Amino acid sequence: MLEVLLQFRHRRFRRDLSAYLDDMLSERARRRLETHLDSCQACRQELAELRSTVEALGSLPMAEVPRSFTLAAAPVAEVRPRPAARRLEFGLRLATATAAFVLALVVVGDFAGLPGDGEEEEGEMPAMLAPAAAETQRAMEAAPAETPAAMTAVPVETPEPLVPGITDVGRLAPEAGTGVSEEEYAEKEAMEGAEVEEEAEAGAANLEDEAEAGAWEVQGVADDEGGLSREEAVRWLEVGLGAAVGVLVIVWAFARFQRSIGNRP
């Protein structure tokens, strides 16, 4: 157990060596690493090798430009989606996700017997008309016999559009890869987050860095493999979800309508 812990600490210190060379460790982490270096020959060796590597890289000369890259004429303006169109697209995506969420709430509420249209009426009516309330009560008693048959498919399918719809809107907002300016706000937040992270406990920070870097690498690989086609795929998925939600709403409304007609005397 102790051996495993020591190995873990050793690996953590090894990861810090690069930042140590650049003087990018916090005072506390730096002192801890230096204490470790005093007693660890392997880390001292690795630090020396790393330093030599960095020096070798730094010794690479900067090549002279083969020609001037100045522009002879102003390039034609880039054809990019207008901001208004982008906002509209974002709004539509958000609307899709919201519609899915609301639909899920309505369907769940409908089946769970939470206050809905019929029950609100029921709450108000006893004060006015007792016979009408009794009628509604009879309708409620008759409903369970029909409901499962009419609505079985709905609750199974609704959660699916809900989750990806919301996730996708959040993830696609920065639109990575489309340009520089779109990510600036996200960048600022991310950098602030990283500064806070730097002040945090060294062990936890390293683990977070590891996880974060891993996530980025996975993202990078996914981007490399998917490219623009993935963006297109997500877009089509959202369109499909929107259509599915629309169909569900129609089916649900139709079923409600049928039920209300069936319950009438």
**Minimum CB separation from another protein for residue 94, in Å?**
23
**CA angle at 253 for the pair 251 and 257, rounded to the nearest 5°:** 115
Q: Using CB atoms within 10 Å of the CB of residue 16, give its burial: 0 to 12 exposed, 13 to 18 middle, 19+ buried.
A: buried
Per-residue interface string for the shown chain with another protein, residues 32-71, x marking contact by CB under 8 A: -------------xx-xxx-xxxxxxxxxxxxxxxxxxxx
Q: CA-CA distance, 130 to 133, in Å (whole number)?
A: 5
Q: Which residue, 66 or 131, is less far from another protein as judged by CB? A: 66
* DSSP conformational letter for 179: -
Q: Which is nearer to another protein, 104 or 205 (CB)?
A: 205
Least distance from another protein to the Cβ atom of residue 14, Å: 8
Q: Which of 119, 146, 175, 183 binds another protein (CB under 8 A)?
A: 183
Cβ-based nearer residue to another protein, 9 or 256: 9
Largest CA distance in the chain: 94
According to the binding rule CB under 8 A, does residue 17 interact with another protein? yes
Q: Smaller CB distance to another protein: residue 20 or 252?
A: 20
Q: Per rule CB under 8 A, is residue 152 in the interface with another protein? A: no
176 lies in the binding site for another protein (CB under 8 A): yes
Q: Which is nearer to another protein, 57 or 149 (CB)?
A: 57
- Cα 257 from chain centroid? 37
Which CB sits closer to another protein, 16 or 110? 16
> Should residue 199 be labelled a site residue for another protein when binding is judged by CB under 8 A?
no
CA distance 250 to 246: 6
Cα distance between residue 193 and residue 102, in whole Å: 33
- The stretch among 108-116, 134-142, 148-156, 184-192 that binds another protein (CB under 8 A) is 184-192
Name residues contacting another protein, limited to 81-100 (CB under 8 A): none
| C-alpha separations of 211 from 32, 207, 217, 247 in Å | 22, 6, 10, 40
Q: What is the DSSP letter of 72?
A: S
Q: Nearer Cβ to another protein, position 19 or 251?
A: 19
> DSSP characters for 194-220?
HHHHHHS-HHHHHHHHHHHHHHHHHHH
HSE (side-chain half, CA atoms, 13 Å) at 265: 7
Smallest distance from the beta carbon of 35 to another protein, in angstroms? 20
Q: Site residues (CB under 8 A) for another protein? A: 15, 17-19, 22, 24, 45-46, 48-50, 52-71, 73-75, 77-78, 176-177, 179-184, 187, 190-191, 193-195, 197-198, 205, 208-210, 212-213, 216-217, 220, 224, 227
